[in-house]
Amino acid sequence: MSDGYDCLAEAEAAMKKAAATACPYDRLRWVRIAEAWQDLGRPHAQMISVAPKVPSIRSRTAEVTSVTRGHIDGS
């Protein structure tokens, strides 16, 4: 996150706006904004990567090539 923002202060401000509003939809919107600010303020080292590990195309090609050669050579 950019150095120009205080994520904790932004989250607190959003929670104050959520508490001040009368509309349930707006309240939920401000709570979600506060959660987003809290997430942005977390240190990057503690963030968990949810991206699946996908093998590279080169390793997959080498695997298929070795299997194919085995069938061609008769081994």
What residue segments make up the domains of the chain, in order of their start? Answer: 7-73
Q: Which long-range contacts (CB under 8 A, 24 or more apart) does 60-68 make?
A: none
**Can you list the pairs that 34-38 forms with residues at least 24 positions away whose Cβ atoms lie under 8 Å?**
35/11, 37/7, 37/8, 37/10, 37/11, 38/7, 38/8, 38/11
Euclidean distance between CA atoms 46 and 74, whole angstroms: 51
The pLDDT assigned to 26 comes to 95
- At residue 20, the pLDDT reads 96
pLDDT band at 42 (very low <50, low <70, confident <90, very high): confident
> What would the pLDDT profile of 5-26 be if each residue is shown by its tens digit?
889 999 999 999 999 999 999 9
Give per-residue pLDDT as tens, 45-70: 455 555 556 656 665 555 655 555 65
| Residue 41 near residue 3 (C-beta atoms within 8 A) | no
